[in-house]
Amino acid sequence: MTTLTPPQSDLLANRGNLSVTNSARTFDYLDYGKDAWHQDRCIAARMAEADPALAEQMALHHKARESVIDAVCRTFPQVIDLGCGLPTMRRALHERVRALWGNEARTIYVDHDLAVLAAARAWWEHPARVAGVRVTALDLDLRCPEILVNALGEYLDLSVPVGVISTLTLDHLEDEELTGLVEALAAGLAPGSGWGITHLSGMNGAAEVYTGQAVEQGVDTRLVARDQSKVQELFEGAGWERWQTLTLHEPPSEKPLIAALTTLS
Ligand SMILES: C[S@@+](CC[C@H](N)C(=O)[O-])C[C@H]1O[C@@H](n2cnc3c(N)ncnc32)[C@H](O)[C@@H]1O
Q: Give residue-wise pLDDT tens across range 64-114.
A: 999 999 999 999 999 999 999 999 878 899 999 999 999 999 999 999 988
pLDDT(16) > 50: no
From the list 99, 157, 166, 160, the residue with the least C-alpha distance to 133 is 99
Pairing, β 134-139 against β 106-111: parallel
Number of CB atoms found within 10 A of residue 102's CB: 10
> What is the model's pLDDT at position 35?
86
> What is the model's pLDDT at position 217?
87
The protein residue whose alpha carbon is closest to atom 16 in ligand 1 is 172
- Which residues neighbour 257 within 8 Å (Cβ) at sequence distance 6 or greater? 57, 60, 61, 64, 198, 199, 200, 201, 248, 249
From the list 85, 83, 88, 84, the residue with the least C-alpha distance to 34 is 88
Over the chain, what is the mean pLDDT? 90
pLDDT(1) > 50: no
Average pLDDT over residues 157-173: 98
The protein residue whose alpha carbon is closest to atom 14 in ligand 1 is 83
Which class for 15: exposed (0-12), middle (13-18), buried (19 or more C-beta within 10 A)?
middle
| Residue 76 identity (one-letter amino acid) | F
> What is the model's pLDDT at position 5?
43
pLDDT(14) > 90: no
Residue pair 75/164 in contact (Cβ under 8 Å)? The answer is no
Average pLDDT over residues 28-39: 89
> What is the model's pLDDT at position 8?
43
The protein residue whose alpha carbon is closest to atom 11 in ligand 1 is 83
pLDDT(185) > 80: yes
- Ligand 1 centroid–CA 2 distance in Å is 33
- Ligand 1 centroid–CA 225 distance in Å is 15
- Ligand 1 centroid–CA 3 distance in Å is 31
> Which of 9, 20, 23, 25 to mutate to test ligand 1, by most ligand atoms within 8 A of the CB atom?
23
Bridge partners of 136, per DSSP, are 108
- Ligand 1 centroid–CA 85 distance in Å is 5
- Ligand 1 centroid–CA 82 distance in Å is 7
> Which of 72, 172, 178, 200 to mutate to test ligand 1, by most ligand atoms within 8 A of the CB atom?
172
pLDDT(202) > 70: yes
Q: How far is C-alpha 219 from the chain's CA centre?
A: 18
Going from the N-terminus, what domains does the chain have, and what CATH number goes with each? 53-203+225-264 (3.40.50.150)
Largest Cα span, the chain: 62
From the list 216, 250, 244, 265, the residue with the least C-alpha distance to 71 is 244
Which residues line the pocket of ligand 1, CB cutoff 6 A?
23-24, 27, 31, 65, 83-85, 111-113, 116, 141-143, 167-169, 172, 221
> What is the model's pLDDT at position 88?
85
pLDDT(6) > 70: no
Question: pLDDT tens-digit profile of 53-64?
Answer: 999 999 999 889
pLDDT(197) > 50: yes
| Residue of higher predicted confidence among 36 and 95 | 95
pLDDT(11) > 60: no
- Ligand 1 centroid–CA 30 distance in Å is 14
